[in-house]
Chains A and B, each alone.
Chain A
Amino acid sequence: GNSVTQMEGPVTLSEEAFLTINCTYTATGYPSLFWYVQYPGEGLQLLLKATKADDKGSNKGFEATYRKETTSFHLEKGSVQVSDSAVYFCALSVNNNDMRFGAGTRLTVKP
């Protein structure tokens, strides 16, 4: 079946540190891949997406590249800020149907 496995948290970093949150997937067919973010007290918001192999999604300094050969979609940011503290979810969708989410990774950035 279709599923996502993402790096367990929590992750605690100092401001301006480099961030990587790993995400790997299993899918039948050709999935679209997403990263969603959930800030404290808010709903899920789309952070970035990629719809085919080698696509790079980017937004707000975050990037992720769709790697078919390693079935991965790792999230990276070169310099995190306190305001990036949130829970990050990796997700996939096949044929525009329901989304399958990872368990989420809680990021805390300390000043």
Chain B
Amino acid sequence: DTGVSQDPRHKITKRGQNVTFRCDPISEHNRLYWYRQTLGQGPEFLTYFQNEAQLEKSRLLSDRFSAERPKGSFSTLEIQRTEQGDSAMYLCATKGQARNEQFFGPGTRLTVL
């Protein structure tokens, strides 16, 4: 257990529905990252926050995706009008100022039917 938690662990939804995932970071970590991992691939960067500010977004993050970190603590990732291609594991990672490695949560596995 790295101290980063994600909820839910699994989500099954129908195409066209909206879904929201939550990540709770290690409390003193100011940076929070979202990644997507598909079967047989490594994680791909989506976006990251420093405190409450969203500093970078990948071109993978289409306009159906939105992420927030309203008080610089937990973060949410919402996918609107889900598509089958959104099926993946969504990973959250956090990083403190003192060290340069990221600590990953267990992930949320999304299945879009």
Residues in chain A within 8 A of chain B (CB atoms)? 4, 32, 34, 36, 42-46, 49, 51, 89, 91, 93, 96-104
1/0 contact trace for B84-112 toward A, CB 8 Å? 00000001010100001111111100000
Bound together, the chains give a CA A93 to CA B59 distance in angstroms of 18
A89 touching B100 by the CB < 8 A rule?
no
Where the two chains meet, the residues of B that have a C-beta atom closer than 8 Å to any C-beta of A are: 2, 4, 31, 33, 35, 40-45, 48, 56, 58, 91, 93, 95, 100-107
Q: B106 near A42 (CB under 8 angstroms)?
A: yes
B42 touches A101 (CB 8 A): yes
**Least distance between B41 CB and chain A CB atoms (Å):** 5
- Main secondary structure on chain A at its contact with chain B? strand
In the assembled complex, the Cα of A102 lies from the Cα of B2 at a distance in Å of 21
Does A43 contact B107, Cβ atoms closer than 8 Å? yes
Q: Are A98 and B45 in contact (CB under 8 A)?
A: yes
A49: which B residues are within 8 A, CB to CB?
100-101
**A45 with B2: in contact, given A96-B95, A97-B56, A99-B102 (CB under 8 Å)?**
yes
Select which of B40, B45, B100, B105 is within 8 A of A96 by beta carbon.
B100
Contact partner of A46 (CB less than 8 A), chosen from B45, B91, B101, B107, is: B101
Given A43-B91, A45-B2, do A103 and B42 touch, yes or no (CB 8 Å)? Answer: yes
B95 and A44 contacting across the interface, CB-CB below 8 Å: no
Q: Does A93 contact B100, Cβ atoms closer than 8 Å?
A: yes
Please give me the 6 A-B residue pairs with the lowest Cβ-Cβ distance, nearest first: A101-B42, A98-B45, A44-B104, A43-B106, A43-B104, A46-B101
